[in-house]
């Protein structure tokens, strides 16, 4: 591995960091290689080792580590949504607001669930129509063709619909999580500082 390979791998492994942090880290290592000079390049590469480990070291010190990592998966976003709900209840001063927010979140959940179920219903309908068509094949071939055709169309729409809705669900979840994260970003920064204070 040479310098450029190291830097591009490092860059790829820092994807989860905010743009500015990533630029900063990359710039530091680029300069580091330049200042060390070509003759030291190999020994530095040997000592730095795996770019993934170097990236992990950088990210472990990033202020929003837990939140940055959890935002990428639906599960992570879902648990962030739960944290929103729970932490809203923990604040006794804003109970009416809390209730309204919970109801909104719940409503969004229900709508998304209904939309996904809708997709599954279409898939079921597709299977039903094809079976119905095949059952009457001895009486009327044209009816069979019509039913199977309609069933297939329904199935196609159903598959597209379901995929679209699953995508929408993911987007909604991560959108909610992101909004929440932005709000607590400052608090997380503060906690990080306190934690570090305790470490020392």
Partner 1 sequence: MVFQVGAAMLDACVLTVLGKEDTYGYVLTQRVKDVLEVSESTLYPVLRRLQKDSCLSTYDQPFQGRNRRYYAITSEGRAKLEEYLVEWQRYKNRVDDMLLGGNI
- Our CB check for partner 1 shows the closer of 34 and 156 to be 34
- Minimum Å gap between C-beta 35 and partner 1 is 4
Site for partner 1 in 17-76 (CB under 8 A): 21, 24-25, 27-29, 31-32, 34-36, 44, 47-49, 53-54, 57-58, 60-61, 63
CB of 48 to partner 1, least distance (A): 5
Q: What's the closest the beta carbon of residue 9 comes to partner 1, in angstroms?
A: 13
For the chain, give the secondary structure using H, E and C. Answer: CCHHHHHHHHHHHCCCCCHHHHHHHHHHHHHHHHHHCHHHHHHHHHHHCCHHHHHHHHHHCCCCHHHHHHCCCHHHHHHHHHHHHHHHHHCHHHHHHHHHHHHHHHHHHHHHHHHHHHHHHHHHHHHHHHHHHHHCCCCCHHHHHHHHHHHHHHHHHHHHHHHHHHHHHHHHHHHHHHHHHHHHHHHHHHHHHHHHHHHC
- For partner 1, the binding residues (CB under 8 A) are 21, 24-25, 27-29, 31-32, 34-36, 44, 47-49, 53-54, 57-58, 60-61, 63, 193, 196, 199-200
């Amino acid at each position: 591995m040479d310098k450029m390979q190291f830097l591009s791998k490092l860059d790829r492994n820092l994807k989860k960091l905010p743009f500015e942090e990533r630029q900063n880290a990359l710039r530091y290592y680029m300069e580091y290689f330049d200042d060390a000079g070509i003759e030291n390049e190999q020994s530095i590469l040997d000592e730095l080792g795996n770019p993934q480990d170097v990236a992990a070291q950088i990210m472990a010190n990033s202020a929003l580590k837990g939140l940055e990592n959890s935002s990428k998966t639906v599960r992570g976003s879902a648990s962030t949504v739960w944290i929103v709900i729970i932490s809203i209840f923990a604040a006794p001063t804003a109970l009416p607001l809390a209730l309204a927010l919970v109801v909104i979140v719940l409503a969004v959940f229900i709508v998304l669930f209904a939309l996904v179920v809708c997709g599954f219903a279409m898939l079921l309908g597709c299977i039903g129509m094809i079976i119905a068509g095949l059952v009457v094949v001895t009486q009327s071939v044209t009816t069979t063709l019509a039913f199977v055709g309609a069933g297939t169309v329904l199935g196609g729409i159903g598959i597209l619909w379901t995929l679209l809705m699953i995508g929408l669900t993911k987007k909604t979840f991560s959108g909610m999580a992101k909004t929440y994260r932005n709000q607590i970003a400052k608090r997380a920064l503060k906690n990080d500082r306190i934690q570090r204070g305790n470490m020392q």
